[in-house]
Structure 1
């Protein structure tokens, strides 16, 4: 499966930053090589803008990269420059691209069921709540896109998915009792997949390592060991990919798993919530 241009641009930025730091070249020197401002180098390395192939070649020469590695990087740069036609914000394309490519996904959510686990009715309800004026046809398009994304969980190459849900996510009645009951039943169904682990953080656990902060860690197969943490907002998202920061979020996720109910206890808690909706 070909990677999306957005994911390739994020990958290219990480590789160019790694090579620059490995060569001991400052951002000022890289900017001087391209005759641009330092802010452009920062945006390139953050995967926030495309870069001409000639500029990539100039940076690779400055960093002393050999011919074989240079050709690999240029291949990534060519993919990153492909045009996309999706009518969704850039940050959403980046998120969906990472989700489609990740070998491993770890997600913590506070009061929302993650998109990969949502039923169509639940997706419709939260979409309409976010924008009651949204065209119904657009709502259905978004529902269809989410359904396509979910298909990967039962594909030939599914990601390893770990989800920790705050109890608020199963207690908030989205779309009415019938919609929420169906959603909770879906959680139990998906949790039975061998590649999915679902844990519930009960209210009784009290404070925990990620109070007020939902996040997702995507671990990518290419480059090996590459990972990105995504912090979502209403109209944008922050992408964190420095190894020290990614490592910190991974440690927090492990602590959340340790504080949450185990998978069997989580299933029982969800079953109890379903019973209370009847």
Structure 2
């Protein structure tokens, strides 16, 4: 069964599955059975299965009782699980702007996750990250991506991305660390004027305290993240409950396991070390913009 396939009036969510996998890991580590866990919270085995697979929202008392039963005594770790459970409950009830603005379910899911995340680390090979794109850059991309019979949808797509960019401002802005391959900065999307404006906009954003931008130059040679772009979304300060998002042409893939997401975090960290510093990256982008001819 697809993990996001509705089950009755419920459906699994990325956050629910991430939280459920942590509870499953704790239960396996403690040697407890599903039946024993069910007895602790006065529930059925079926409910434990649904919790561990992310099918149902989880109550704080159930999480506390199970953590105590599994021997998890660290209050910070318990607190992180409770915070993710809270975010998941809010996520399930949310009727955000994206619900009516989009038709693609996978994109709705990602934007809903982005809306509640604390931090985003993004690696981009070919494009400027969506949260940093100017309207003209978006339009140039959309013209290439949208079929001729859907040209009228371009402004709708631009509006969706501009609404997402609101997360860069406000009282609790999204913290973003972006690493961008040099090729994305030189790709002439929309022509020299559009690209110069895009690079200047990127440099201005990088001056915000919640945004770091690094460039991986061609001269760095072989690097760790050659497999494709990805986003790491964090929902707790420690990063212990990260999920990784990879968006393909016709599919979206979520990496939700602790070991798998940690591997992407390591890839990202290693790529950062071979990239230019934020200061040098800004100067590098400036030099590329100046070299673009009409």
TM-score (norm 2): 0.74
State which of 76, 98, 102 in structure 1 corresponds to 2:117.
102
Question: Which secondary structure state, in structure 2, belongs to the residue aligned with residue 277 of structure 1?
Answer: coil
Cα 1:202/1:73, change in 2 over 3 Å: closer
State which of 18, 23, 27 in structure 2 corresponds to 1:19.
23
CA distance in 2, matches of 1:243, 1:197: 25
CA distance in 2, matches of 1:146, 1:138: 13
Equivalent position of 1:268 in the other structure: 283
CA distance in 2, matches of 1:185, 1:23: 51
Contact 1:8 1:80 in 2 (8 A): no
Equivalent position of 2:269 in the other structure: 254
Cα 1:250/1:153, change in 2 over 3 Å: same
CA distance in 2, matches of 1:271, 1:219: 31
Equivalent position of 1:3 in the other structure: none
CA distance in 2, matches of 1:72, 1:218: 15
Q: Give aligned pairs, total.
A: 255
CA RMSD of aligned residues (A): 3.5
State which of 122, 127, 131 in structure 2 corresponds to 1:112.
127
Contact 2:242 2:256 in 1 (8 A): yes
CA distance in 2, matches of 1:205, 1:224: 28
Moved more, 216-225 or 142-151: 216-225
State which of 187, 199, 209 in structure 2 corresponds to 1:172.
187
Query: Does residue 209 of structure 2 align to residue 194 of structure 1?
Result: yes
TM-score (norm 1): 0.78
Question: Which secondary structure state, in structure 2, belongs to the residue aligned with residue 108 of structure 1?
Answer: strand
Equivalent position of 2:224 in the other structure: 209
Equivalent position of 1:10 in the other structure: 14
